[in-house]
A = this chain, B = another copy of it.
Amino acid sequence: MDCFGILERVREKRPLVHHMTNWVSISSCADVTRALGALPVMAHATEEAEDMAGISSALVLNIGTLTSGLVYTMELAAKAANRKGIPVVLDAVGAGATKMRTDACLRLLKSCRIDILKGNAAEIAGIAGVEAEVKGVESISVSGDLKVIAKDLAGKLGSIVVITGKDDIVSDGKRTAIVSNGHELMGRVVGTGCMASSCIASFCAVEKDYLVGAAAALSIFGRAGELAAKKTNEPVAYRNKLIDSIASMKEEDFEQKVEIC
Contacts and interface: CB of A to CB of B under 8 A. Distances in A.
Interface of A: 14, 16, 18, 22-28, 30-31, 34-35, 39-48, 51-52, 55-56, 64-68, 94, 97-101, 135-138, 188-191, 234-237, 240, 243-244, 247-248
Nearest to A18: B136
A243 B236 contact: yes
A47 B104 CA distance: 11
A190 B191 CA distance: 17
Contact of A135 (B14, B46, B247): B14
A133 to B, nearest CB: 11
Determine which residue in A34, A40, A45, A46 has the highest number of CB atoms from chain B within 10 A of its CB, and name it: A45
7 contacts: A27-B190, A34-B190, A41-B136, A44-B65, A51-B99, A236-B240, A237-B240
Nearest to A50: B98
Contact of A25 (B27, B51, B100, B190): B27
A101 B48 contact: yes
A22 B42 contact: yes
A16 B40 CA distance: 30
